[in-house]
Structure 1
Amino acid sequence: MSTSSFTMPFAGNDLNACEHERDPKELQAFLNDPKAKAMLLDRGRPALLPEGGLKWVKPNDLIGQNIADPGPLFLGKQGDVPVFAFSISTENALTEIESFQDMRVVAAQLSPMELALAGQAKSLFDWHDEHRFCAKCGAGSRGNRGGTTRQCDSCGAAHFPRVNPVTIMLVINGDDCLLGRGHGWPEGSFSALAGFVSPGETIEEGCAREIFEEVGVTIKSPRYVFSQPWPFPSQLMIGLICETDDRELVIDANEIEDARWFSRDEVEAVFAKRSDAFKRPPRFTIAHQLLRHWLKEG
């Protein structure tokens, strides 16, 4: 897969983060800049235009609106344009309630850059929502530096967003690949196996452990392919392809509902929409891109 012609969904954010221009006076100047623009989110759902694409407003148009913690989220500058995101309540919103759409549903309606920006904003807002109190002393904390950190004014501790590493792996045996499905997934849906990397593990160790726990298969030769920021809520999906000599599966029903081997021909037919052997993972997922990459390798 050519990196020059492909942008992983939710990646590709090329804003200047302006790390050294985030004191209160500088942020206020960015907010007042007539070129500044802001996207709107409600509980992680971006506001879209009727024809698709993010709805952008002027930050000053949000004065008097019900803006959630941490207030204006400064994402950075696109050229000379300051870019913000606001988490607002649809009960008192500048835009119609129906304009806010689930990001998984509308991912295909956004350009790669808009999807990257909306994903970053959602991840940060989710972090703020879940870290309102200082982990050191328990006092309330506040957003700081344009929403990129939180500050405890009681003990002085600074808190920073965390990204959770997840291995997602395509297990290969000869010309077949192994796909699984989680509990409660839509009928016919299968995807690559995945799991969180635990403390003290390498990526390769996490990959091997998760596969053995879920399906009882021992793998070899794990190799990194690509990664994806995944804002549900804030993960880094690390895409791997690995091999196994084991065909027999021992499925842990506490981990997954089912797992099956699919031939390259079956996967090609599904991607060409000639077969319904399984439901193809959505294009904006790294699982989709891993399968497509494997098909091209063959």
Structure 2
Amino acid sequence: MGQVSLGSGKAGVDAAEEVSGPWREAIRGILHHKMAVAGLIILVFFIGVAVLAPLLTPYDYKEQVLADRLKPPSAEHWFGTDDLGRDVFTRVVYGARISLWVGFASVVGSIVVGTMLGIIAGYYGRWLDMLISRLFDILLAFPGILLAIAIVAILGPSLFNALVAIAIVNIPTYGRLVRARVLSLKQEEYITAAKSIGMKNGSILLSHVLPNSLTPIIVQGTLGIGTGILEAAALGFLGMGAQPPSPEWGKMLSDSRQFIQTAPWTLIFPGVSIMLTVLGFNLLGDGMRDILDPKMRR
């Protein structure tokens, strides 16, 4: 009996380590991964810029001074001015708030709904799995940006509706990822043991299945924020995202495309901001994958 008890205790410790492992390993390993550190530095910079936006510039992003329209970068206007005389640096700085918020919020929405549907489909199976999987297949049958455009066209152009559209488009990505993970987990011995002692399905899902499904969600979520920012910029460029005078980076590109030759700074700075932010999330996401995915470790 003593040996059985010892074995059970060890299994419990291993299970606990499996649950908390991804978080602990991510925090410890990220500082030893060059790409992840580079991505983290970029993201910390842009997050700091977004938080400190009112302190970084004396101008209002909505302030129009037509006498100063299309002025090149100078000591007074670091990034120059746009066609309405607005300070481009100010609008880029405040645009970081919008782009980061859209990226984070859309990914959180996708993860919450996709994870819930994926767990239900993978754990309960049968007709629920078939119904949810077919829903995922329908959403994946359309190119993501076209589906997002269709959703925004139905709901109406606005930043919030663009956020909702981006979240809906990315639900299948997380749903299928979690479903595959749950299909593997529910065959594990500790799940069978939990069922044998009478633990309810809800408790099993919250205590065992969900915590052990976090690793792929963390990685995909980190990469997904960059994708969300790109999709928001694309919708803004098409006039279906943020509306004037919001300083959203994609909308800034759209408003300035006619000045690409006469005032290229109006496009360069928001474009570079999009590129660097997405690069930061991609580097961090790739680093997280290398740290957390056993198949990627050497």
User: Larger RCO: Structure 1 or Structure 2 (Cα < 8 Å, ≥ 6 residues apart)?
Assistant: 2
Higher-strand-fraction structure: 1
TM-score after normalising by structure 1: 0.25
Structure of larger gyration radius: 2
**Which one has the bigger helix percentage?**
2
